[in-house]
Amino acid sequence: MGTFIRASHFLDRGALSWEPLARSSGAHCRASGERLKNRMDVLSEVLKVVKLEGAIYYNGEFTAPWSFHAPPSHVLAPHFASGGGHVIIYHLLTEGQGFAGLENGKRVPLIAGDIVVFPHGDSHIVGNGARVEPVDMEPELHHILSQGLKLARAGGGGEVTRFVCGYMSCDPQLSRVFLAGLPAIFKVNVRNGEAGRWLENSIRFSVDQADASRAGGEAVMAKLSEVLFIETLRRYISELPPTQTGWLAGVRDPEVGKTLALLHRQPARPWTIADLAQEVGLSRSVLAARFRHYLGEPPIAYLTGWRLQLAAQMLKSSSRSVAEIAAEVGYESEAAFNRAFKRAYRIPPARFRDESRTAEKAPVSADADALRSSRQA
């Protein structure tokens, strides 16, 4: 097997292996229970139905001055993700310093322990030292990926920066829930806590040992990539300013977070605003106002959107009938489901399924297909 690491599955409650992994390090955040519980519950409920593929694909040691230009993730997607997954790129600095930024955008300074994430797949520049013309990585992509995790060295001979690059691929429909609340670029420092330091050390050690062909090494690396991504989301949520709104800020709010967890845990239940208010211990008017403040819509409207996103994913990935899927996501009749789905997606469910499957069968480039097959061998 190669050193390019991939993990692909639908996460169920028992498969959220990042939680026991982090717990085993003795490094779980011990912030106040209710807020942390709500945050974890909502992330768990979303992530257990989002198809994740995790990988660490590049291991670099560059000396200043250096700079490279990373292509947008849709260029990388044919190499990384099957089935049209959305690709999120991240870079973790483990030594030295540098910067990252969008093209023609503000540079974000980076220090050791920082992970910088590009959740919407924008092309970007990473570097350190005096301004130099960024090296375009796109023409070298096949060569870069064919090296696996072999240490790559480049630069002008100055200050050393070590980093690893990774990605998370996720279902483009279902991931919109949390991606919509993320900026084009953000960073957190994983060394600000025992859990993050354990993760960084584990990833650095595993990358350095990638050529040793140790039994189970690839599976461990794939899980560590997922753990790092989720820990990064958790830290980002905890660091949001008090005035922030949106889905991620709503997750942090005790009552809104609990409401979101209930809706994601039991989307087919015939929820009413009265049911939800009773569960979270607020009046209907207060809950509706607080939910709208963060999410911009009432709880039941949010639930309708999530049900239809779940249905769209089922239509693409399963052979179950439209009637079965309608019942699975909480519709009492196929006709009512058809009307709701057509309002949201502009076409009926059956046609959506046909068009999605036709798109998935579109050929990828020969180079990307061959490279992906070789990595899975």
Rounded to an integer, the average pLDDT of 343-369 is: 77
**Is the pLDDT score of 250 beyond 90?**
yes
Encoded amino acid at 161, one letter: T
Q: Quote the mean pLDDT of the chain.
A: 83
Give residue-wise pLDDT tens across range 112-167: 999 999 999 999 999 999 888 999 999 988 888 888 888 999 999 999 999 999 98
Closest by Cα among 160, 197, 167, 202 to 60? 160
Q: Report the distance separating Cα 50 and Cα 169, nearest Å.
A: 10
This prediction has a pTM of: 0.81
pLDDT at 6: 37
At residue 212 the predicted structure's pLDDT band, cuts being 50, 70 and 90, is low
Q: Report the distance separating Cα 123 and Cα 109, nearest Å.
A: 17
Buried b (16+ CB within 10 A) or exposed e, 193-227: bebbebbbebbbebbeebeeeeeebbebbbbbbbb
Give residue-wise pLDDT tens across range 267-316: 999 999 999 999 999 999 999 999 999 999 999 999 999 999 999 999 99
Q: Report the distance separating Cα 350 and Cα 344, nearest Å.
A: 14
Encoded amino acid at 272, one letter: T
- Token pair for 235: 């830290």
Give residue-wise pLDDT tens across range 189-210: 999 888 888 888 888 888 887 7
pLDDT at 16: 35
Contact assessment for residue 314 and residue 320, using Cβ atoms and an 8 Å cutoff: yes
DSSP per-residue letters across 11-64:
--GGG-THHHHHHHTT------HHHHHHHHHHHHHHHTTSEEEEEEEEEEEEES
**Is the pLDDT score of 225 beyond 60?**
yes
Q: In residues, how long is the chain?
A: 377
At residue 319 the predicted structure's pLDDT band, cuts being 50, 70 and 90, is very high
Q: Report the distance separating Cα 68 and Cα 137, nearest Å.
A: 7
Q: What percent of the chain has pLDDT over 90?
A: 54
pLDDT at 216: 58
**Is the pLDDT score of 215 beyond 60?**
no
Rounded to an integer, the average pLDDT of 347-362 is: 86
Rounded to an integer, the average pLDDT of 80-104 is: 89
pLDDT at 211: 59
- Round to the nearest angstrom and report the end-to-end CA distance of the chain: 6
Q: Which domains does the chain have, with CATH numbers?
A: 7-238 (2.60.120.10), 253-360 (1.10.10.60)
